[in-house]
Amino acid sequence: ILCGIRGCSLGSPSTFFSFDMDRATHMQTSNSAKDEVEKGRTIFIPDAEEDFEESGLTFPQYMFAGAVTGMMEHAFMYPVDTIKTTMQATPCFRATHPYASRPTSFLRTAVSLVHTQGPFSLYRGVSAVLVGAVPSHALYYSVYELAKSSFRKGETGHHPLADGAAGALAVLAHDAIATPIDLVKQRMQLYGNEYKSVVRCVKRTLIREGFAKFYVAYPTTVVMNVPFNIIHFPAYESLKRFIHDDDGPITHFVAGGAAGAIAAAATNPLDVIKTRLQTTLPGEVGRTFESDAVMSSIPADALGKGKEGQGGDTMGMSKKQAKMQMKMQARAAVMDASPPPPSVSNVQLTIDTAKSIVEKEGYSAFFRGVQARMIYHIPSAAICWTTYEFLKSTMKTYL
């Protein structure tokens, strides 16, 4: 596909991947390039001056470009993120479980949210993300650029290991700011939450669960995002080199989207664990806010049975009483998936949560929302890189 985009002709697959960088650099001005063409192999080697790493921008300019990029990404992609969070936070039990249910698809979840809660429900908590995107993405891209320049030591060419290491450092700075914001965002996204505003969510979480709760998923987030970026940044830089002729927006869009898809699919299991950790209620790990998605995942016959001491059939009740009964039984179903109480470290809590998911829901639960996550990250990464590279080019030209 990449070869088709560039219109190049290659010999064997090994010709494409295994070429010596030093020899390839000199091919541009030597007769060996002609020899390669005569052999039917056309290898694209970007000029050293075309490498964008020496962009000449300052640290504040990188921060500005990153901040604008982050706001653009979240403004466009937030509804998809809400759908993903709803899918991942909803337990889906095995067939042998009393509350057995099948996972809902991305489209079905989206339609359900819009139909039952309105289109604006997809934007609950967006204000927290837009505010948090400014400092987090500003650090994310600026640290990446500076670390990449440092690791490459002024050398041009293809350096995937340096790009991956720079991406890992960038995400450490990003997650230190983004993790608390992500917790607030995910709690606001789920229907049935008790928070009427972002400020109220922050205050109540701080009073009831303490400051440490904001970082309960930090170990999982770092473990997820470090490999994500180790995959994402080198993939983007590599794809950009092999599919572009003019380093234009189409190149950034295609390379960014493809890199985002690869990294998103590979790290989805850790994203599921992170979502479960961040959407649990105080003192009841595994019990998330009751949403329509949770209640719709429990079959009608299961709702009629109920657990001992929690009531059963809703026949003869008023509409309000029946709804309350359904909520109580939905809560019982979610709590039945609860891992041990949070009396252990965050790392151990992460391990216990993963074990609980496997025992109650099976390994397939780790890939819940993978479609939504890929649908999110493909355009998200494409928008990010296109916007970021455009801003860098503009500032370099006019500032």
Task: Note the Cα 251 to chain centre separation in Å.
Answer: 22
d(CA 122, CA 353): 27
pLDDT higher than 50, residue 172 = yes
Per-residue confidence at 190, pLDDT binned at 50, 70, 90?
A: confident
Q: What is the pLDDT of residues 277-304, one digit of tens each?
A: 887 755 544 444 433 434 444 444 444 4
pTM, two decimals, is: 0.66
Residues 198-229: tens digit of each pLDDT? 899 899 989 988 999 899 889 888 989 999 99
Closest C-alpha among 378, 346, 385, 19 to residue 167: 385
pLDDT level of residue 364 (50, 70, 90 thresholds): confident
pLDDT of res. 170: 94
Supply the pLDDT for residue 135: 95
- pLDDT, average across residues 372-383: 92
Decide: 30 and 37 in contact? Cβ < 8 Å.
no
Report the pLDDT averaged over residues 237-262: 85
DSSP code per residue over 98-134: TTB-PPPPHHHHHHHHHHHH-GGGGGTTHHHHHHHHH
